[in-house]
Amino acid sequence: MIVISDAGPLIHLSLIGRIDLLPRLYKRILIPKQVQQEVVQKGAGLAGSAEISRAGWIDVAEHAPGAPLLQLLSIDLELGEAAAIWLAVEQQAEWFLSDDRKARLAAEKLGLNVRGSLGVIAEAKRQRLIPTVAPLLYELRAKGVWLSQSLIEKVLKELGEEVLETH
């Protein structure tokens, strides 16, 4: 299974100490060099930097700066997201992981299966890797990841969990 990620899920899952879900669900993740630089070098000292720099389950691929699709995607997206989508298309990835709304929409238009941090957490529960998702969703929000209450409630309802708070 080929799974490509941009920076968002790597950072967000690191924020809550659950980056371990990625290799448990997907075994290996492929990221473009641009995403690695964004998380590890530019994000030095921030969530995800140390985790990604030492993750043996992440492979880093070069992107082709002159590729027409990459150039087109770079018009509306950050280079990391554009490179990750380009790589997912090139590699015919089974999953593209992103929390960026514009990147997710672009990837879906290109026919990619898209999953974000919440989708990763939900899948981990479905596969019984974690007992509940509610604490993780509320922790993400507490650490600054924007999640509406209605989105949290929708995910919890889909997974048969109780809503913990309403604000």
How open is the CA angle 17-129-104, to the nearest 5 degrees? Answer: 65
Q: How far apart are CA 125 and CA 150, in angstroms?
A: 20
pLDDT at 7 over 50: yes
pLDDT at 63 over 80: no
Which CATH number do you get for residue 23? 3.40.50.1010
pTM for the model: 0.92
Mean pLDDT of 40-46: 88
Domain match, 146 and 112 both: no
Number of domains in the chain: 2
Residue-range definition of the domain harbouring residue 97: 3-117
User: How confident is the model at residue 14, as a pLDDT?
Assistant: 96
Mean pLDDT of 78-96: 95
